[in-house]
Amino acid sequence: MGLSDWTELPKNLLDLVLQRLQLPSDYVRFSAVCMSWNSVAKDNLRRHTRLTGPPMLLTYTGKEETWNLCDMRNQKVLDFQLKLPNTRFCGFSMGWLITIDENFIVTLIEPFSKVTGRGERKNSVVSLPRLNPPGINEGIRTVLWDKIYDFFVFKAIISTDPISNANGCIIVVTYEDSTRLAFIRLDKDTKWTYIDSNICNITDVVYIEDKLYAVDVTNRLFSFDITTSQFNFTLVAEGFNRPGGFFKTYLVESSNHKELLMVHRYMRYLRRRHQPRLTKKFKVFKFDADNHKWAEINTLGDVSLFVGDSVMSVMASNFIGCLPNCIYFIHDWDRSIHRR
């Protein structure tokens, strides 16, 4: 049977195969066969009531454009390699990696289409129009960001899968110098829309139920309706005083009650080349929609958070080996020292 025959297997048969997979790495290998299998695997992950392991991380192998997957549950690197650019990824959303190149063009990459030894699948790379924010002098931007262009986008997210739901896909980026916001609707826009320049110093963004939420350095929370090019935004929660010390802010949708959480990661900076930061503690806040304010919480219940360049919330009881009321974290991009 040729590969073309495998790609035409009916979905109900593929669902039966997925139900018998035992390991997270099996899901990855299944996803890498073709776009149709990848789509079925994503759909099953969304509907699956009991998964066999927590999320996995990408780790660089040291070889050109070669990455491994790391199984956090068993604390080991899997013998499974991906072919991806040697660059910083400014986002991982809906199963897609997001990068920016030297021409300030944002690109979406479906990572499992680039398994070592296999050709790239059709539609596995989506290139977007060039980022060209107003008010930024082109000459100055080139001088400042020419050598570190891949850090010009601080954070990027997408609302839906760009292949299965291109019509509803919106890409949002937080860009430098003052971490402002821009978005583009994949099948509707030919250029980026730049959100009011007075809304800046954004620390994180998240997309929930057709709305974009963004939090700034003062912990103010904004909501945006960006389903049309004429977007509207609302201040939905006032900020509060920043405590002493250095911390980084993340937004995430809680997987148990569909609540919006804000995570503060407190750090101490060290004079060490290989370990410039030390994470000291976390604080978690829940958005109180009735009173339009943040409220600190002391437990996550059955929820586990994964914190890094991308943030994820999972029900711990759905993942064997995943501990409830825990935060798993790795070193991510730090704007203040321009390194991980």
- Calpha distance 135→133 (Å, rounded): 7
**Whole-number pLDDT of residue 184:** 93
Closest CA relative to residue 204, chosen from 220, 216, 195, 192: 216
Closest CA relative to residue 195, chosen from 239, 253, 252, 135: 135
Question: Quick one: DSSP state of residue 241?
Answer: P
Residue 44 has pLDDT above 70, yes or no: no
User: Is 31 in a helix, a strand, or coil?
Assistant: helix
pLDDT, mean of residues 110-130: 68
Q: Which tens digit of pLDDT belongs to each residue from 254-298?
A: 876 678 999 999 988 776 656 677 888 999 999 998 999 999 999
Binned at pLDDT 50, 70 and 90, residue 221 comes out as very high
**Whole-number pLDDT of residue 274:** 60
**Domain definitions of the chain by residue range:** 1-52
Binned at pLDDT 50, 70 and 90, residue 187 comes out as confident
**Whole-number pLDDT of residue 277:** 75
Ramachandran area for residue 31 (φ above 0: left; ψ -120 to 50: alpha; else beta)? alpha
What class is the 1-52 domain?
A: mainly alpha
Single-letter amino acid, residue 109: I
Read out DSSP for 86-145?
SS---EEETTEEEEE-TT-EEEEE-GGG-BTTSPPPTT-EEEEEEP--TT--HHHHHHHH
User: Is 0.85 topped by the overall pTM?
Assistant: no
- Considering only 88-92, 190-194, 250-254, which range has the smallest mean pLDDT? 88-92
